[in-house]
Amino acid sequence: MSRRAVGAPLSRVDGRLKVTGRATYAAEHDIKGVVYAAIVDSGVGRGRITGLDARAALGQSGVLKVISHLNAPKLAYRPNAGSNNPEGGERLHVFQDDRVRFFGQPVAVVVATTLEAAQHAAHLVEVRYAAEKPSTGLAGHRTNKPVTYARGDAEQALRSADVRMEMTYRTARNHHNAMEPHATIARWNGHRLTVWDKTQWVNGTQEELAAVFGMPKESVRVISPFVGGAFGSGLRAWPHVTIAALAARETGRPVKLVLARRQQYFGTGYRPAYEYKVRLGGDRRGRLLAMTHDIRAETSTHEDYQEGVLTTGQMLYSMPNVSQTYERVPLDVNTPLYMRGPGHSTTSYIVESAMDELAHELGLDPIELRRRNEPDDDPATGRPFSTRRLRECYTVGAREFGWDRRDPKPRSTRDGDWLIGMGMAAGVYDTQRGAAQARARLDARGSALVEAASSDMGPGTYTSMTQVAADALGLSVSAVTFRLGDSIMPPTPPHGGSMTMASVGSAVQDACDKLRRQAVELAVADERSPLHGVDAGDVVAGDGRLHVKGDSARGETYQQLLARNNRTHLETLGSFTPGESRFSMYAYNATFAEVAVDHRLGLVRIRRMLGVYDAGRIISPKLADSQAIGGMVGGIGAALLEHTVTDPRDGRIVNANLADYLVPVNADVPSLRAIYLDGDDREADPIGVKGLGEVVYTGVAPAIANAVFHATGRRVRELPITADALL
């Protein structure tokens, strides 16, 4: 039998390409005759453009064109429900009017034969504005129609509760800050458009461009074989994608447009800032009775961005009374977008901080408090959980982290000038799945090529899909090639929401199962095959051969089978279509952190972290570790460092660079450990996975915040937790 690929700790099949620089990211595709674009962005946060003088720019050698609202053609901007655009608004229409809706909004683009000429000329475009004062803060504005949820009577329950608490938490705006900048190369061929783009969804970008330019989507091809991190920022096509395509059409040349690092902060999305008031009530034994959530978040004036902030508060703990109000405040800002663990990570921080505060109030161990409120069925829907093993996560985590060594009294442990604290939190992310297809092809050499549109922003999709395909076909990993990142390949859902493994993986499994069965059918019907006449159900594949189950000598290789039948290849199309389920499906974590806080300086250092995950089956353990450790690093950023700061006078983001916007560096990252409960959730999908990329992030920030409280006795209700708050 061949060694199973699924579950083996493989290195990335594309690792060599990446470390040798041969993986082609969006800006690196070598397109003949390409010219360069540079965006001129607004220097005011709200108002109108009263004048735009491009003469100096056009006078520079190499400059081909300056496009603005003064000369841009009218674009179709068809509504398109299929894309990832937020509901209830109009997406930003590029160069279609003189309005400035946020600081950094593109107001013109310069196209030139060199990048240097384009960038220099962009500075020479003179724009005059009638500026108005922008609204950029969450306080005191009208809101979009709130989304609400209620069960029971939370107000009544709070009045009668033994213990009542009320807290307001705040979380900062965060930007994705992937290493690879957003970039697009666009080329027209008659009425057909080809785009090389950094995207998490080639099909979504294809639909968006078709809608913007009023074309059938079949006339648009989007190619994106490698993505250098995205964390959600590539889940929709931002205005620069349209601008690249428009510039290419207007100049008749292929155009490359790479956003400068500073422009990433203005021109793409971000995790919105939140203001979150929570009230909770319980009895003396720590049974929760009620929780209320009053949530305010940023959105833009032109789109009503919403994310899943409500479910965690509805289903993480058993309680009869819940009331929620989720308001979005329309501000003069760019539209937010999903960022790793969207919704759940914010709510996990708030709910899990509140639980820690309640545990302290009641003098109960935080894990014990959680155990006392662990539901048997989903309290929001009454449905059974497909799998929910949070109790085991607590048990394993407490044992492996040494939770029993924790003195429950805050500020009780010291190491010289450092106050030492241990904290924990639970986290959750819903198991999302979407309709996906994949094509599998077996050639006469006995090698397989498997394709699906998808993306791989870093989780290792190339590798994990190769593993699934290799096992289904009985081939070694080296005999399988997986390709992705092209809209002409079978369609897939967004490479986000932690749904790629479940969705695309199940489609790959289906395609390869069908392909294997097709080969088996061919063999058992072939008089010259050693498998002739064998029941198809008794034939298995392994080591590149088909053979009788339990008798590996009786069989033949794929090569022999195809050659004898004069077949150049066999090919199948597989699919996965998630149905309605009677189950409630989530992935879970229990995350533990130990911190040290310098009592003189307020400096917080993480000493060690442990995440324990109930995420279903783990296809690729080495890549899973990469996800989990990356998720913890991201969570350290959210807890202690990351904060997009806006100047309220003009809406300018003041730290729009990686020197001033802090992300964790190696010195911030200590010993991190991940443990996966051995699981398999067949209710979720045929390959038993529940999604991993986001559940490893939710739970991290509250574990750290709770550890900081335990170390210092100071409860900081704002992320990031910075030194000034601890002095």
Nearest distance, CB of residue 200 and ligand MOS, angstroms: 6
Q: For residues 200 and 467, which CB has a smaller minimum distance to ligand MOS in the complex?
A: 200
CB-nearer residue toward ligand MOS: 286 or 693: 693
Residue 535 structure tokens: 């029941």
> In the complex, what is the shortest distance from the CB of residue 337 to ligand MOS, in angstroms, rounded to a whole number?
8
Options 141-149, 338-346, 476-484, 634-642: segment touching ligand MOS (CB under 6 A)? 338-346
- Give the per-residue contact string, 47-86, with ligand MOS (x = CB under 6 A; - = no): ----------------------------------------
Look up 451 and say whether it is catalytic: no
- Smallest gap, in angstroms, from Cβ of residue 634 to ligand MOS? 11
Which secondary-structure segment (H or E) carries 443?
A: strand 436-443
Return the half-sphere exposure (C-beta side, CA atoms, 13 A cut-off) of residue 353: 31
Give, in order, the Cα–Cα distances in Å from 291 to each of 102, 133, 430, 678, 693: 36, 38, 21, 33, 28
270/394 with CB nearer ligand MOS: 270
* CA dihedral sign of residues 299, 304, 305, 311: positive
Q: Rounded to whole angstroms, how far apart are CA atoms 290 and 292?
A: 7
Residues between 218 and 237 with contacts to ligand MOS, criterion CB under 6 A: 231-232, 235
* 496 interacts with ligand MOS by CB under 6 A: yes
Interaction pattern, residues 183-202, with ligand MOS; x per rule: CB under 6 A: -----------------x--
Distance in Å, CB of 83 to ligand MOS, minimum: 14
Report, in Å, the least distance between residue 607 CB and ligand MOS. 28
CB 231 to ligand MOS: min, Å = 6
Asked if residue 338 lies in contact with residue 496, where contact means CB atoms within 8 angstroms, the answer is yes
Judged by beta carbon, residue 620 or residue 627, the one nearer ligand MOS is 627
Of the listed 180, 357, 594, 694, which one is catalytic? 694
* Residue 706 and residue 717 in contact, taking contact as beta carbons nearer than 8 Å: no
Q: Contact with ligand MOS (CB under 6 A): which of 125, 339, 428, 453?
A: 339
When asked if residue 702 is in the footprint of ligand MOS (CB under 6 A), the reply is no
Which is nearer to ligand MOS, 492 or 722 (by Cβ)?
Answer: 492
Residues between 260 and 319 with contacts to ligand MOS, criterion CB under 6 A: none
Contacts of 464 (CB under 8 A, 6+ apart): 501, 505, 619, 620, 623
Q: Report long-range pairs for 363-370 (Cβ below 8 Å, ≥24 apart).
A: 363/408, 364/286, 365/408, 366/423, 366/424, 366/706, 367/394, 367/398, 367/403, 367/424, 368/286, 369/286, 370/317, 370/394, 370/426
Per DSSP, 273 falls in state: P
DSSP labels for 145-156?
Answer: PPEEEEES-HHH
The one-letter amino acid code at 689 reads V
Q: Residue 497 interacts with ligand MOS (CB under 6 A)?
A: yes
Cβ 304 to ligand MOS shortest distance, Å: 18
Pattern 15-44, binding to ligand MOS, x per CB under 6 A?
------------------------------
Nearer to ligand MOS, 232 or 544 (CB): 232
Burial of 528 (0-12, 13-18, 19+ CB in 10 A): exposed
Query: Beta strands 255-258 and 35-41: pairing type?
Result: parallel
Whether 111 and 64 have beta carbons less than 8 Å apart is answered as yes
Distance CA 178, CA 247 (A): 25
Nearer to ligand MOS, 459 or 688 (CB): 459
Nearer to ligand MOS, 339 or 708 (CB): 339
Stretch near ligand MOS under the rule CB under 6 A, chosen from 298-306, 332-340, 477-485, 647-655: 332-340
| Residue from the set 213, 265, 317, 338 that interacts with ligand MOS by CB under 6 A | 338
- Yes or no: say if 346 and 274 are a contact pair by the CB < 8 Å rule: yes
Triad 616, 354, 643: Cα angle to 5°? 80
Q: How far is CA 563 from the centre of its chain?
A: 45
Binding site for ligand MOS (CB under 6 A): 200, 231-232, 235, 338-340, 342, 496-497
Q: Among all residues, which ones are annotated catalytic?
A: 694
